[in-house]
Amino acid sequence: MQNIRTDLALEAFDGQGASSLPGVDVRRWEAGGVTLTEVVVSDDDASRLLNKSVGRYLTLECGLLRRRDPDARAALGGLLAEELSRMLPPMDGGACALVLGLGNRQITPDALGPSVVDRLLVTRHLIEQLANLPGLRPVSAIAPGVLGVTGIETMELAERLVDLVKPAAVVCVDALAARDSARVGTTLQLTDTGIQPGAGVGNHRRALTRDSVGAPVIAIGMPTVVHAATLARNAFDWLDRQRGATADPAALDDMERALLSAAPGDMIVTPREIDSIIQDAAGIVAAALNRALQPDLSDAEIAAMMD
C-alpha cells in the first residue's frame, strides 16, 4: 500500500481506501459548526498499517478558520478545551502540568508550539504568592527549540524536565504535516499517544511518549504544511476521477518517487497567509489549554492574570 505522508490519523485511515479496518474504530459527529472525528487504534497490526501508535486520536475540523471567523475560533477553542479536559489525568493535590512548545520560532510554519507557550498562563512559580486563589493549578511551560539551533535533542530536555518538575501530564504542541491542503490551518489533532517531533516532514527525532519520559503525554497539533509531491499526487488522482477513471496507485507511486529523486528533492509547501494562520491557531490552542489546565478560574480571571 502507498505511504500516506501525513501526521493526521484521520488521513492515514482514509488513505487506506477502506470503510473499516480491524483494530481501528472511527466515529464522526458535528458540534457548533465543527466536525469531530475520533480514530481509536487498538492493536499493533492496525498501528503498523496506519503508522500510528496505539491510542486515541481526535481531529477537529472547521473550514471557517481560514476566513478568520471569530465564532468559529470560539467554538473550536471551546471544544478543544472540553476534549483536552477529558484526556488529562486527574490533577489533584497540587499536581503540575508541563507544556512543551515544540518547533522553531524562527521558521513561521514551525512556530506554533513556541507561539502557544508565549500565550500560556504559567503558575508553578507563583503558587505560594497566589495562595488566595483556591484551585489554581501549577503549570510550567517551555519552548525547547530544535536540535539544529540548540544542539540538544528535545527528548533529552524533556526527560530531565520531567524528572525535575514531576508533572502529572506533559502536553506537547507542534506543527504538523497534512495530506490534504484543505486541512492546513483548519484542523487540530489531539491525541493521548505522545508525539514524534518532525515525523511529518521526514525529520524523525526521538518520540515523546509515556514510556520515554515517564509521564502521560498528550499532543496537540495543527497541519501547517503539505509535501509538494503529495499535492502533485492528489492533482493527478483528481484528474483521473474527473475523467471517470480509477487512479493507478503504482503509477502514482512511480510519479512521487520520480519527483522526490529529482533536484531539489522533497519540498514542503505552506500557504502565503501562514503568519495569520499561526497567530490564530496559537490563540485558539493557548486559550483551550488555559481553560483545561485552570478549570476553577474564569476566562476573566485568566485574562487578568496574563495582563
Helix (H, G, I), strand (E, B) or coil at 6: coil
Question: Is the pLDDT at 1 greater than 50, yes or no?
Answer: no
What pLDDT sits at residue 131? 61
- pLDDT at residue 16 is higher than 90: no
Q: pLDDT > 70: what percent of the chain?
A: 89
| pLDDT attached to residue 259 | 67
SS3 content of the chain, % helix, strand, coil (to 5): 40, 20, 35
Residue 279 lies in a domain: yes
Residue 160 has a pLDDT of 92
- Condensed to tens digits (0 to 9), the pLDDT of residues 198-233 reads 554 555 567 889 998 889 999 999 999 998 878 777
pLDDT tens digits, 50-98: 989 999 999 999 999 988 899 999 999 999 999 999 999 988 777 899 9
Q: What mean pLDDT is predicted for residues 174-179?
A: 94
In a domain? residue 175: yes
- Is position 105 within any domain? yes
pLDDT of residue 242: 77
Q: What is the pLDDT of residues 115-139, one digit of tens each?
A: 999 999 999 888 766 665 667 889 9
Q: Which domain holds residue 282?
A: 9-224+275-306
Average pLDDT for 181-191: 95
3-state secondary structure of 30: strand
- CA 170/CA 278 separation, integer angstroms: 22
Domain count, the chain: 1
In a domain, 148, yes or no: yes
pLDDT at residue 240, rounded to an integer:
72
CB atoms within 10 A of CB 51: 13
Residue 222's pLDDT is 97
CATH of the domain at 199: 3.40.50.1450
Report yes or no on 231 lying in a domain.
no
Share of the chain above pLDDT 90, in %: 57
pLDDT of amino acid 199? 53
In sequence order, the 6+-apart residues with CB closer than 8 A to the CB of 29 are 35, 36
Average model confidence (pLDDT) for the chain? 87
Identify the residue whose cell numbers are 465564532.
Answer: 71
> Is 174 within a domain?
yes
Give the residue among 211, 220, 256 at the shortest CA–CA distance from 87.
Answer: 220
- What is the mean predicted confidence (pLDDT) over 159-185? 93
User: Tens of pLDDT along 236-274?
Assistant: 777 777 787 776 777 767 767 776 666 566 788 999 999
Q: Does residue 266 belong to any structural domain of this protein?
A: no
Is-contact 266 59, C-beta < 8 A?
no
Domain annotation covers residue 87 = yes
Which H or E run includes 269?
A: strand 268-269
Q: In angstroms, rounded to a whole number, what is the distance separating the alpha carbons of residues 133 and 151?
A: 40
| Cα-only R_g, the chain | 20
Residue that wins the pLDDT comparison between 305 and 159: 159
